[in-house]
């Protein structure tokens, strides 16, 4: 009983019971509800995970009062946030102010579309999947700028501007490292990229250049999701909370949720490109070993890899000190960008000559 089987049986049942148009519309509704459900669960799980990870890394205990081991802490926090007043400041641009959190969350939802969660369990296998992801993910900066501008607060605006400069510049090296994987695969479609890793993940097949591309990718997406050590957009010590200073209650919670969902999404993309998405761990032609690995469900493989990358990003956050804005732009334009250009050349050479496995 795989996820693919469940979706197929639901699909055929809907098509035999209703006419095709209605069935399609019902499928849209089901998929939308699943996406919202996934968002809620991700928000709860990732926040408690972050708090526990940070606590253990700083030799603390973390939340340990609500539920067993503090596992219900985020549920309690969510209830608290929903009961709070969603205040709109007097001087704010009311329409943009209230629209901004939804823009950010909608973008996060849109990127969910081409991600393959398990074998044959994907919302939309578009043929330009990777391009779609990198194009849509840069829309979220509009939501952040909107929030910063509409708040009518100098700290919010400063935070939003910093965030803009940061996302625009780090988009480049993230894009280049994605392209280097596309060069190896020869396709932009997510299902093709996963299928090409049938005999080994790209991070192993692509030698050291693939490893460099992965490191650059993980640095760039940490910067793109505005997390420490690149959290200049929020910078508690200087800008109180950056672009969401003026937000409260559920509107603040939406920004918070969008941040964590974005982390999940970029890690899912990273897992797809470098670690083969839902593809089990295969080594070349060892059929016996490969069959054994196939017994573990593909959804477990996908979630395991994604959560490993999320843990890696959390590890960064609780270890490294924050960069200054000029150091941040130095790192991108003087180091990551030239290195990823050079790396892309190497990988292209490798792909042309077939030096990878």
Partner 1 sequence: MFLKKYIADVFGAVRSLLKGMKMTGYYFTHRKEIITQNYPDHRETMKLPERFRGEVVMPHDEKNEHACTGCTACELACPNGTIKIITKFDISPEGKKKKALDTFIYHLELCTMCNLCIEACPTDAIKMAQNFEHSVYDRSKLTKKLNTPGSKIREGIE
Q: Report the 10 Å Cβ neighbour count for 261.
A: 24
Select 59 or 83, whichever has its Cβ closest to partner 1.
59
What minimum distance in Å lies between the beta carbon of 350 and partner 1? 21
Q: Per CB under 8 A, does 49 bind partner 1?
A: no
Tokens describing residue 334 = 């003087």
Q: Per CB under 8 A, does 53 bind partner 1?
A: yes
What minimum distance in Å lies between the beta carbon of 267 and partner 1? 17
Question: How many whole angstroms separate alpha carbon 354 and alpha carbon 66?
Answer: 55
Q: Per CB under 8 A, does 335 bind partner 1?
A: yes
Half-sphere exposure of residue 89: CA atoms within 13 angstroms, side-chain side: 18
Which range of residues in 7-15, 50-58, 272-280, 294-302 is near partner 1 by CB under 8 A? 50-58
Q: Per CB under 8 A, does 123 bind partner 1?
A: no
Number of residues engaging partner 1 in binding (CB under 8 A): 15
Select 56 or 102, whichever has its Cβ closest to partner 1.
56
Which range of residues in 13-21, 51-59, 68-76, 97-105 is near partner 1 by CB under 8 A? 51-59
Q: Per CB under 8 A, does 319 bind partner 1?
A: yes
Subset of 256-315 contacting partner 1 (CB under 8 A): 315
Question: How many whole angstroms separate alpha carbon 223 and alpha carbon 230?
Answer: 5
**Residue 256: cis peptide before it, omega within 30 degrees of 0:** no
Question: How many whole angstroms separate alpha carbon 111 and alpha carbon 66?
Answer: 33
CA-angle at 91, arms to 86 and 92, nearest 5°: 55
Tokens describing residue 75 = 């549920």
Q: Per CB under 8 A, does 57 bind partner 1?
A: yes
Which range of residues in 9-17, 100-108, 165-173, 316-324 is near partner 1 by CB under 8 A? 316-324
Q: Per CB under 8 A, does 66 bind partner 1?
A: no
Question: How many whole angstroms separate alpha carbon 292 and alpha carbon 37?
Answer: 32
Q: Per CB under 8 A, does 139 bind partner 1?
A: no
Closest CA to 104 of 132, 146, 134, 133: 146
Q: Per CB under 8 A, does 56 bind partner 1?
A: yes
Q: Per CB under 8 A, does 211 bind partner 1?
A: no
Out of 318, 322, 344, 356, the only residue in the binding site for partner 1 (CB under 8 A) is 318
What minimum distance in Å lies between the beta carbon of 228 and partner 1? 13
Out of 58, 285, 287, 353, the only residue in the binding site for partner 1 (CB under 8 A) is 58
What are φ and ψ of residue 281, in 5° steps? -75, 110
**Residue 229: cis peptide before it, omega within 30 degrees of 0:** yes
- Rounded to 10 degrees, the C-alpha dihedral 275/276/278/281 comes to -80
Q: Per CB under 8 A, does 208 bind partner 1?
A: no
Q: Report the 10 Å Cβ neighbour count for 317.
A: 20
Select 286 or 315, whichever has its Cβ closest to partner 1.
315
In the chain the beta strands, taken as DSSP E runs, fall at 116-118, 121-122
Q: Per CB under 8 A, does 320 bind partner 1?
A: yes
Binding site for partner 1 (CB under 8 A): 53, 56-61, 64, 315-316, 318-320, 335, 339
């Amino acid at each position: 009983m795989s996820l693919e089987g469940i979706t197929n049986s639901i699909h055929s049942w809907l098509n035999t019971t209703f006419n095709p148009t209605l069935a399609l519309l019902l499928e849209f509704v089901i998929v939308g509800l699943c996406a919202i459900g996934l968002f809620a669960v991700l928000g709860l799980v990732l926040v408690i995970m972050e708090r526990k990870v940070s606590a253990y890394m700083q030799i603390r205990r973390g939340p340990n009062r609500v539920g067993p081991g503090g596992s219900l802490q985020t549920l309690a926090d969510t209830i608290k946030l929903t009961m709070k007043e969603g205040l709109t400041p007097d001087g704010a641009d009311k329409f943009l102010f209230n629209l901004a959190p939804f823009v950010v969350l909608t973008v996060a939802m849109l990127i969910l579309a081409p991600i393959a969660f398990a074998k044959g369990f994907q919302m939309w296998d578009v043929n330009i999947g990777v391009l779609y992801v990198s194009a849509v993910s840069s829309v979220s900066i509009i939501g952040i700028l909107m929030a910063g501008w509409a708040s009518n607060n100098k700290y919010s605006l400063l935070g939003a501007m910093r965030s803009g400069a940061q996302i625009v510049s780090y988009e480049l090296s993230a894009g280049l490292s994605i392209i280097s994987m596309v060069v190896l695969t020869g396709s932009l479609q997510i299902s093709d990229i996963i299928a090409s890793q049938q005999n080994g993940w790209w991070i192993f097949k692509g030698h050291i250049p693939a490893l460099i591309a992965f490191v650059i990718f993980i640095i760039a997406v940490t910067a793109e999701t505005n997390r420490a050590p690149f959290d200049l957009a929020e910078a508690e010590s200087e800008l109180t909370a950056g672009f969401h200073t003026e937000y409260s209650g559920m509107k603040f919670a939406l920004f918070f949720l969008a941040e964590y969902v974005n982390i999940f999404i970029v890690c899912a993309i990273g897992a797809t490109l470098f670690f083969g998405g839902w593809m089990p761990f295969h080594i070349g032609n060892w059929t016996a070993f490969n069959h054994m690995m196939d017994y573990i469900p593909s959804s477990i493989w996908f979630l395991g890899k994604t959560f490993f990358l999320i843990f890696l990003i959390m590890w960064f956050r609780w270890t490294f000190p924050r960069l200054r804005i000029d150091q941040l732009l130095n790192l991108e334009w003087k180091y990551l960008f030239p290195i990823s250009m050079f790396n892309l050349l190497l990988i292209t050479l490798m792909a042309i000559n077939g030096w990878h496995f």
